[in-house]
Amino acid sequence: MMHARYAAQQNAAANPREIELRAFRYVNGLLAGATDVPSRMAALHKAHRLWSLLIADLAQPGNALPPDLKGRLISLGLWAQREVDARMADEGGLDALIALHRDMIAGLEAQQAAAAATPLPFVAGAA
């Protein structure tokens, strides 16, 4: 119970990109650590769920990302879901999914670094 409240407080304070970054890191850790069938299936299920949530968010009219970027991310998400489905049906490697997630993590980290380096606008008369 206490853990759930702590997690909820952390997520409430985090921006959407930070939450996405945490989710990709978490899922990639599960995929990389999947050493048996149950852990593999659980990791693949989480990966599929992550991409389902992202695709749904990207498809929302209020999503502020540029249309071209949204389209490319949705395409990646659909590929990732097909890859997850294929890996659930066989024992093929998870390297392609892990690599995609690493790329997503790198992109989100770069976006955060750029945002942190951008100075806040000066507003005259603000205290």
Cα gap 12→7, rounded to integer Å: 9
Question: What would the mean pLDDT of 95-103 be, rounded to a whole number?
Answer: 98
Instruction: Give CA torsion, residues 42, 23, 103, 75, to 10 deg.
Output: 80
- pLDDT tens digit sequence for 50-86: 999 999 999 999 999 999 999 999 999 999 999 999 9
Predicted pLDDT at 127: 54
Q: What is the pLDDT of residue 126?
A: 57
Instruction: Compute CA 17 distance to the chain's CA centroid, rounded to the nearest angstrom.
Output: 8
Please identify which residue in the block is written with the tokens 């997690």.
Answer: 7
Average pLDDT (90-113) is 95
Say whether pLDDT at 8 is over 80: no
> Would you state the pLDDT for residue 80?
98
Q: Which domains occur in the chain, in start order?
A: 16-114 (1.20.120)
Higher per-residue confidence, 27 vs 14: 27
CB-facing half-sphere around the CA of 64: CA atoms within 13 A: 2
- Judge contact between 124 and 29, C-beta under 8 A: no
φ, ψ at 105 (rounded to 5°): -60, -45
- The rounded percent of the chain whose pLDDT value lies above 90 is 72
What's the pLDDT score for residue 116? 77
Residue 112: partners with Cβ closer than 8 Å, 6 or more residues away: 17, 18, 21
**Please, which pLDDT band fits residue 14 given cuts at 50, 70 and 90?**
confident
CB under 8 Å to 47, separation ≥6 — which residues? Answer: 27, 30, 31, 80, 84, 97, 101
Packing angle between helix 95-117 and helix 67-89, nearest 10 degrees? Answer: 150
